[in-house]
Chains A and B, each alone.
Chain A
Amino acid sequence: MRSVRKSIKVLLWTFVAMFVTLSAYLGYTVTVNGARWFISPHNPRLGQQQQNVIAGSILDRNHVVLAKSTQPGERQYHPDEIMRKATSHTVGDPSGVAATGVESFHAQYLLGFNVNVFERLYQGIVMQKRVGDSVVLTLDSALTDYAYRKLGSNAGAIVVMNWQTGEILCSTSAPAYDPANMEQYQNGANSLESNLVNRVTMGRYTPGSVFKTVTLSAVVKYRPDLLQKTYSCAGHYEVGEGVITCAGNARHGEQTVQKAYDNSCNIAFAQMARDLGRELLIKMAQEYGFNQEFLFEDFVIFQSKYTAGDRDLDFAWSSIGQYLDLATPLEICMVAATVANGGVMMEPQLVKSIVNARNYEKDKLHSKILKRALESDMAQMVKDAMISVVKEGTGKSGAISGLTVGGKTGSAEVSDDKTQKTHAWFHGFIDSDKSPLAIAVIIEQGGSGGSVAAPIARDVLKKAVALGY
């Protein structure tokens, strides 16, 4: 009998532990995933609530109104068409067709689901109709409009963030859609479907040479001895069954690591990767967020992928951002921001605050450190390398007079036989505490990163500085 009692006690504690786990998991999972579940297009509550509530507004950081409602079920967007298109992917559309915009992702605020009991009672008694909360974004609409115009008729994306706080100041993607005239996109003409994709967070591109920043970081972090080494580039380098070449079949000759990075020498980097080994490069890529599921509070971002490949040739190509590597422009921007911020990766923020119907500001932005990818001295070395690229390497056209700019260009091959033009990439930053800006630019099949993407990045950053960021 005594032993039975003892066992019962043990069982009781097990049961208690199980139920504590159950409660903790319930709270955890709803807090972490709740917003994502809630905005699902399968949620019938959203459509119903739209008819009962005057939805809140969406404002940019200077309180420029991007979307507003005056009565339930109705929605107005910014009067200027270009502005509507420039901010379309960030803001979203009224019926949630492009489902990752603020309109759907923050519907719980806009439609007043997140209103507390007292507020609800107050609205029920004092106001005629229920009113949702307004969402103030970190976005600057003027800068976004400028960047969108810079993209012109190209397909591509531009994202600018503050590397100290993680605030996204500009995020634009072309081709865009017009949230005020959605009919043409909903009727399923295939060519218009890609207009709905937010290329900044959902566009997964071959990163090409901008990935060399990751490979360089791996060298700095895990194999600093390689920094003393010189590699020789003879225009082609045989690995396994294939050959690695440099852009334009250039011969760079003897290359130090810094030189190789300045000239974006594929052959030197392929040899560096061979010295590093797969494991260290995979580790570094993951430190930067590749292969990671980012569950950001403010928006949805697709996963960026780094695959080392089993064949040596594949691994060599993967180390210079080809093979199966895929990255979103925001991820590439975050890599530059991390380098600029001393190796500390900040969580990107899109929501500055929530303002309720009585103009009371709540849920104000607080910057969050996502992780530390590099120690500060290592980050300083990578930063110097990026600054050198803009000073004397492939990124010269990214320079801004009077400011120290660091960056890296990329021209990503998207066809095996070079029949298509390369994607033009640039990621970089301004090395200044007064203007802590990081940028990523991609122009789909725009050609060379140095001559196409870098000047756009320069102009957008200049505009941002002129606007006071």
Chain B
Amino acid sequence: MKRLHRPGSGTILAAITLFYLVGFFVIFINTFDGASGLDYRLFLVLFGAVGLLLFQYGVLISFFPGMDRAALLAANFLCAVGMVALYRISPDTAVKQLIWMAAGMVAMVASMLLIRYGRHWPNLHWLYIIGSFGLLSLSLLSGSTSFGANLSFEIAGFAFQPSEFVKFVLVMGLGALFYQRKGWITVLLAGGYVGGCLILLVVSKDLGAALLYGGTAICMLYAGTGNKLLVGSALGAVGAGSVAAYHLFSHVRVRIALWKNPWAMYEGQGYQVVQGLIAIASGGLLGLGLTKGMPMAIPVRQSDYIFAVICEEFGWIIGICLVSFYLIFIVRGAIIAMGARNSFDALVAIGCVAMVTLQSFINIGGVIKLIPLTGITLPFVSYGGSSMISCFIILGILEGIAVKNADADELEFAEAFAEEENEYDSREEIWNEENYFDVQRADDGQATDGLKRRSERNRRVSERRNRR
């Protein structure tokens, strides 16, 4: 693993800060009227968000130089776009989102530390399995219904959505199972685990999550076993399950019909799909301009349909930018996974990446009618406490593995250094003895020799890395 050159992460940081400033400035000049005076919430959200960003970048990175800056910044850019869009829809929501972002950051740091310093994660598979089932049945048993699905329930006034937290538990669980490599037992356990989760999700009508978990599990199965036959049969099982679900559940049929022609069902459930498409079409390439659109016409604009809101006012070109930033996140995540020192870390990292990838794909694809719509949030962008915190935990897990990788790099580097140093020291002693009397000459020689020695060592270290 080569130490990667990190070009321009400072530039991205500046760009995100600038995005916040310009975004809030545009909202300010377009909404300001003398009568109601200054809105303190604007400054609260602006300075809060920029503060969090700079804190992450400045403080965290100086404590953990091994953190992956690009992934962190990509996530922050996504948060920034979401924050500006949310503030434009409703300042109060943005204030709440700021709180969730701060909470998410705390969760990120905590999970990063736990991953970095915890040693028993690969052995806790029963904990993950029982935890996932527990969380999912919780939402099934006492969940409140929203948009036809049992998703969340309230604790102390906060809507808590357990399926969001099952995301990373599932990734850890599958990582642990595949890490232990017990042949068929692993496959059966993993199959039962994922199958059980999916059944619970389908029964609670959370189709988006079912699709997401199933997809992620297949990605991890592929990474963990590399067995194409297994992956093929898993895909087949998912396909058969989808067909069965289509015939068994009327809400699945409705989703498919909506995907085929939402316009025909406008009076019924086609409403949100149609309004989403109209919003994107109204924005065009460059958008109507911040505050110039009509996001209030779009249903579920704060969570599932925030992509349509963004496309309407910023243009679909920014929609593609958003997709590109997900790509940056994905590529960095995959690099972290490839740099991992053991397969548990690698599997967990790629699982996290798969989770974010599929979630954003399912959300955006559903909004633009590439695939049927399933209620699912856009990671890092949508409003939602559970969603925000679980996304940051996923980021934290990735960063924890990145830090672990960097520390291992450091250690290997030091070892290699020490080895070379020993080798060299013995030669140096001989050399010094020979030239004991001519101090001046020895100094000159040492200086040039020092340079040579360093470059030689670097070459060997990098060779060793490439071999591995």
Measured CB to CB, the residues of A under 8 A from B are: 1, 3-12, 15-16, 18-19, 21-23, 25-27, 29-30, 33-38, 40, 42-45, 48, 108, 113-114, 116-117, 120
Cα A5 to Cα B364 with chains together (Å):
28
A113/B288 contact (C-beta < 8 A), A8-B346, A42-B266 known: yes
Q: In the complex, which residues of chain A have a beta carbon less than 8 angstroms from the beta carbon of B347?
A: 4
Q: Work out how many contacts link A and B, with CB atoms closer than 8 A.
A: 124
Would you call B368 an interface residue if the criterion is a C-beta within 8 Å of the partner chain's C-beta atoms?
Answer: yes
Q: Tell me the complex Cα distance, A40–B262, Å.
A: 13
- Decide if B327 touches A16 in the complex (CB within 8 Å): yes
Give residues 276-290 of B contacting A (CB, 8 Å).
Answer: 277-278, 280-282, 284-286, 288-289
A34's partner among B263, B281, B323 (CB-CB below 8 A) is B281
CB-based contact B323/A45 at 8 Å: no
Could you tell me if A23 and B338 are in contact, using CB atoms closer than 8 angstroms? Answer: no
A7 and B281 form a contact (CB under 8 A): no
Q: Say yes or no: B284 contacts A12, CB within 8 Å.
A: no
Task: Determine the chain B residues whose CB is within 8 A of the CB of A19 once the complex forms.
Answer: 323, 326-327, 330, 357, 361
Whether B294 lies near A44 (C-beta < 8 A) is yes
* Among candidates A11, A18, A38, residue contacting B278 with C-beta atoms closer than 8 Å: A38
Residue of B226, B274, B284, B361 near A40 (CB, 8 A) is B274
Instruction: Point out the residues of chain A lying under 8 angstroms from B327, CB to CB.
Output: 15-16, 19
Query: Are A22 and B222 in contact, with the CB atoms below 8 A?
Result: no
Is there an interface contact between B337 and A35, defined as CB atoms closer than 8 Å? no
Q: Are A26 and B319 in contact (CB under 8 A)?
A: yes
B282→A43 contact, CB < 8 A: yes
Least distance between A3 CB and chain B CB atoms (Å)? 5
Q: Note all chain B residues with C-beta closer than 8 A to A10.
A: 222
Q: List residues of chain A with CB within 8 A of the CB of B274.
A: 37, 40, 42
Q: Is the Cβ of A38 less than 8 Å from the Cβ of B282?
A: yes
Contacts of B282 in A (CB 8 A): 38, 43, 45, 113
User: B365 at the A/B interface (Cβ < 8 Å)?
Assistant: yes
Not counting A1-B346, A11-B222, A15-B357, a sample of 9 additional A-B residue pairs whose C-beta atoms are within 8 angstroms of each other reads A7-B223, A7-B224, A8-B350, A9-B338, A11-B334, A11-B353, A12-B331, A30-B281, A44-B294
| Cross-interface CB contact of A116 among B286, B331, B343, B368, cutoff 8 Å | B286
Q: Establish whether residues B343 and A26, one from each chain, have CB atoms under 8 Å apart when the complex forms.
A: no
Asked, given contacts A30-B280, A45-B294, whether A8 binds B223 with beta carbons under 8 Å apart, the answer is yes
B240 interface residue (CB < 8 Å to A): no
CB pair B219–A11 under 8 Å, yes or no, is yes
Interface: B342 (CB within 8 A) = yes
Shortest Cβ distance from residue B108 to the other chain A in the assembled complex, whole angstroms? 22
Whether, in the assembled complex, B275 has its beta carbon less than 8 Å from a beta carbon of chain A, the answer is yes
| Cβ contacts under 8 Å, B368 to chain A | 22, 25-26, 29
When distances are taken between beta carbons in the complex, the residues of chain A under 8 Å from B22 are: none
Contacting pair A11 B354 (CB below 8 A): yes
Select A22's contact among B281, B338, B370, beta carbons within 8 Å.
Answer: B370
B323 to A7, Cβ gap below 8 A? no
- In the complex, the answer to whether A29 meets B353 with C-beta atoms within 8 Å is no
Q: How far is the CA of A19 from the CA of B326 in the complex (A)?
A: 9
Q: Is the CB of A37 within 8 A of B278?
A: yes
A43 to B278, CA, bound (A): 6
Point out the residue from A23, A42, A113, A120 that lies within 8 Å of B275, measured CB to CB: A42
**Which 8 A/B pairs are nearest by Cβ-Cβ distance?**
A37-B281, A34-B281, A12-B334, A38-B281, A7-B223, A3-B226, A43-B278, A15-B357
In the bound complex, CA of A343 to CA of B284 (Å): 36
* CB-nearest residue of chain B to A13: B334
Does B316 touch A at the CB level, under 8 Å? yes
Bound-state Cα–Cα, A9 to B334, Å: 8
User: Bound complex: CA of A192 vs CA of B280, how far in Å?
Assistant: 35
Does the CB pair B281–A33 fall under 8 Å?
yes
**Closest beta carbon of chain B to A107's beta carbon, Å:** 10
Give 22 CB contacts A-B under 8 Å.
Answer: A1-B343, A4-B343, A7-B226, A8-B350, A15-B357, A19-B330, A22-B365, A23-B324, A25-B365, A25-B370, A26-B364, A27-B320, A30-B280, A30-B284, A33-B281, A34-B281, A34-B284, A38-B278, A44-B297, A45-B294, A113-B282, A113-B284
B116 adjacent to chain A (CB < 8 Å): no
Is the Cβ of B319 less than 8 Å from the Cβ of A8? no
Taking CB atoms and an 8 Å cut-off, the chain B residues in 314-334 that contact chain A are 316, 319-320, 323-324, 326-327, 330-331, 334
Contact partners of B343 in chain A: CB under 8 A: 1, 4
Which residues of A have CB within 8 Å of B226? 3-4, 6-7
Q: Taking A1-B343, A35-B281, A38-B281 as contacts, is the C-beta distance between A18 and B357 under 8 angstroms?
A: yes
> What is the chain A residue whose CB lies nearest that of B330?
A15
Contacts of B334 in A (CB 8 A): 8-9, 11-12, 15
Give the distance to chain A from B124, nearest Cβ to Cβ, in Å. Answer: 20
